[in-house]
């Protein structure tokens, strides 16, 4: 059971990485995270930022996107530099912090469906390349976590989030080839599970429809992060099995772009209604549900990003104080 209450998905607007870290620690102190600012350009995007963590697999940018290359160049260095500056800001703002911290990286399947091989199609087209990419990413993530622990010795637990918006497409065989004219073959579920097991008890974030709940449960993830508005009644049996197995759900309950935010009770309502339909005891709700924006906040204004996190935290108090929703 978690006591995290509320957190964010990962991305933030603008280019002021120090201010973004301050906002996170101020608005969601129960589970702060290292924000990502893709507006800074090459290497700050989800794919480039994670590719910069890969061990012995340097990358570069081509007109078609990120591609593996023979040696680290300017694009790879940009990604490394962005992350180093982010870690400097994290150390500056969180130097005396004690508690859990969330780190987000692109998951192996979305990464494999996005990065191209040196002289070929996307890495997803080659099972051996996917294995190499996954192993490299797992080592890079372990090194990244160790660096964060060194900089913030008060961190009691690192919560790893794998961003896998591309996973449903990987399983369905809808990922386009590098040329864009074909589609890559669907990946078997056992292979998807195997790659996810390379990471220690992650949370998997998937803001796309058709989240593979049963697969994620079998893969041993500790939690699943989803957009509550995309959940369908047909998903609820699988969601219930995940709750029964003790998984934490990070439910996206406020839009990721500027809108007028309702009161805390209305924001909490999707979680309360889902819990009631699933038939679980109300006193379990706050321990297994964490409220978040529906997806990243990169497309929002800075003021809205702050307000969205604050709204999630206030709504989380409703789950604690009135879990029956009465």
Rounded to an integer, what distance in angstroms lies between the CA atom of residue 301 and that of residue 63? 29
Residue 323: the pLDDT is 73
Residue 74: the pLDDT is 95
pLDDT tens column, 168-221: 999 999 999 998 899 999 999 999 999 999 999 999 999 888 999 999 999 999
Mean pLDDT of 292-301: 97
pTM of the model: 0.96
Distance of CA 83 to the CA centre of its chain: 16
Residue 272: the pLDDT is 96
What tokens does 173 get? 């065989």
Mean pLDDT of 105-110: 98
Percent of the chain with pLDDT over 70: 98
For the chain, the maximum distance between any two Cα atoms, rounded to a whole number of angstroms, is: 61
pLDDT tens column, 35-73: 999 999 999 999 999 999 999 999 999 988 999 999 999
Residue 62: the pLDDT is 92
Nearest residue to 283 (alpha-carbon basis) of 245, 251, 322: 322
According to DSSP, the β-strands at 289-293 and 248-254 are parallel
Mean pLDDT of 3-22: 96
Nearest residue to 171 (alpha-carbon basis) of 184, 150, 187, 193: 187
Residue 310 has phi, psi (to 5 degrees) of: -60, -40
Residue 1: the pLDDT is 46
């Amino acid at each position: 059971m978690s006591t995290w209450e509320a957190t964010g998905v990962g991305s933030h607007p603008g280019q002021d990485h120090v201010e973004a870290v301050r906002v996170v620690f101020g608005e969601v102190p129960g589970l702060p995270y290292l924000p990502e600012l893709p507006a800074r350009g090459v290497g700050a995007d989800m794919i480039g930022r994670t590719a910069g963590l890969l061990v012995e697999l340097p990358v570069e940018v081509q007109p078609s996107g990120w591609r593996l290359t023979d040696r680290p160049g300017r694009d790879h260095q940009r990604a490394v530099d962005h992350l180093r500056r982010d870690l400097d800001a994290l150390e500056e703002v969180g130097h005396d912090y004690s508690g859990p911290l969330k780190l987000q990286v692109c998951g192996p399947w979305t990464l494999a469906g996005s990065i191209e091989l040196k002289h070929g199609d996307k890495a997803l087209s080659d099972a051996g390349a996917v294995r190499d990419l996954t192993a490299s990413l797992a080592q890079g993530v372990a090194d990244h976590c160790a660096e964060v622990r060194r900089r913030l010795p008060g961190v009691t637990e690192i919560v790893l989030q794998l961003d896998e918006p591309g996973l449903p497409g990987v399983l369905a065989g809808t990922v386009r080839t590098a040329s864009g004219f074909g589609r890559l073959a669907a990946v078997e579920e056992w292979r998807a599970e195997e790659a996810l097991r390379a990471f220690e008890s992650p949370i998997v974030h998937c803001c796309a429809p058709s989240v593979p709940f049963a697969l994620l449960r079998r893969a041993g993830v500790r939690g699943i992060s989803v957009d509550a508005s995309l959940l369908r009644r047909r998903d609820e049996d699988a969601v219930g099995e995940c709750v029964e197995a003790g998984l934490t759900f990070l439910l996206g309950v406020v839009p990721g772009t500027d809108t007028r935010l309702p009161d805390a009770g209305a924001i909490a309502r999707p979680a309360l209604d889902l819990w009631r339909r699933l038939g679980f005891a109300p006193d379990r709700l706050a321990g297994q549900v964490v409220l978040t924006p529906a997806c990243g906040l990169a497309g929002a204004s800075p003021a809205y990003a702050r307000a969205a996190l604050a709204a999630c935290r206030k709504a989380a108090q409703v789950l604690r104080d009135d879990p029956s929703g009465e």
